[in-house]
Amino acid sequence: MYIKQAFKSLHEWWRYLVGFLIIFIASQIGSIPLLIAVMFKVMSNGGNIESIQDPNVMMTVLDSNLTLFLMLLSFAIGLLAIYLVVKYLHRQTFVQLTTSRKKTDWGRVFFGFGLITVTTLVVTTLDYYNNPQDYVLQFDLVPFLILAVIAIIMIPLQTSFEEYLFRGYLMQGIGVLAKNKWLPLIITSVVFGALHLANPEVDKFGNIIMVYYIGTGFFLGIMTLMDEGMELALGFHAGNNLITALLVTADWTVFKTNSVFKDISEPSAGFDVIAPVLILYPIFLLIMAWRYKWRDWSGKLFGKVEEPIVLTEEKTSNPTFIE
């Protein structure tokens, strides 16, 4: 099983604590270039540093493409830190952190990516034709091409960092320590959602948007546990963020980009905010369950995580794991 992969590596509790701290510090170091660039820009224009204490203001000081790149850089450095921590602190292969299969199933990655991409395109197209007054076409070829290059390279790194941290490193770490599956699912989903509290969407919609963020965490966690690997979650998360950055932006989103359209409507904190969690996500899970023949939902989501018995035969240096 996926969480049991951690038993094949060094999995003492202190290693996960040290590893998490290393990953956190590395991601914070990765945010320094953005801060320096903003400070330099403000000071060169004769501004005051105190004027950029508001994160929403800070994100508008630089060109949007440069801001996006520097903002995503911290996630790329954090992903590198996860790789190094897993390899050297836990002596675990990256494949074992990714999946219970012998190798990463890229077909699953692309299926998850395609599922959310097609859905987003269809929903956005229908909304555009039904409510054209809510959109402004702002397509500008050169800025868009620069955005596309940055987004295609950097956004998968950003989403992979979040997936490998929450659905990978912490899911396995908490699972082998708690000896069950429901606790890591709850903790990683709630913390994943809580970390989005600083997003400008929260100011716009209010705390109800946290239902969406935490619900998305549960959705990705359920997907990972049921499929015994992160491939679907990796593809889905990357597709969601990438198509959003390229297709539609708004003044109240965390990604303010040179996308094709700009949403100028006044959003309301109504049912449409939580509709994905209550309607779309269950449909997606049913589609994946049908395609990949998921079984034993109770066992995979709430079952125990038991450490395999290791039998070391005489004159044999390779241990045998008994499930």
Please report the pLDDT score of residue 316 as a whole number.
42
What percentage of the chain reaches a pLDDT higher than 90?
74
Instruction: Please give the full DSSP string across 194-252, using - where no structure is assigned.
Output: HGGGGSHHHHHH-TTHHHHHHHHHHHHHHHHHHHTBSHHHHHHHHHHHHHHHHHEE-TT
- Residue 229's Cβ-count burial label (10 Å; 0-12, 13-18, 19+) is buried
8 Å CB contact between 213 and 192: yes
Quickly state the pLDDT bin for 321 (edges 50, 70, 90). Answer: very low
**Which residues lie below 8 Å from residue 318, measured CB to CB, with a gap of 6+?**
none
Rounded to 10 degrees, the C-alpha dihedral 321/23/158/149 comes to: -110
pLDDT single digits (tens) 92-141? 999 999 999 999 999 999 999 999 999 999 999 999 999 999 999 999 99
d(CA 17, CA 14): 5
Please report the pLDDT score of residue 314 as a whole number.
44
Longest dimension (CA), the chain: 76
Q: What is the mean pLDDT of the chain?
A: 90
d(CA 240, CA 175): 27
Mean pLDDT of 67-88: 96
Confidence check: pLDDT of 313 > 60: no
Quickly state the pLDDT bin for 46 (edges 50, 70, 90). Answer: low
The reported pTM is 0.91
Quickly state the pLDDT bin for 54 (edges 50, 70, 90). Answer: low
Which residues is 229 bridged to in the sheet? 99
- Residue 167's Cβ-count burial label (10 Å; 0-12, 13-18, 19+) is buried
Locate 209 and state its tokens.
């948007």
- Residue 171's Cβ-count burial label (10 Å; 0-12, 13-18, 19+) is buried
Mean pLDDT of 312-321: 46
pLDDT single digits (tens) 224-278? 999 999 999 999 999 999 999 999 998 888 888 999 999 998 877 777 788 899 9
pLDDT single digits (tens) 162-204? 999 999 999 999 999 999 999 999 999 999 999 988 888 888 8
Select the more confidently predicted residue: 297 or 271: 297
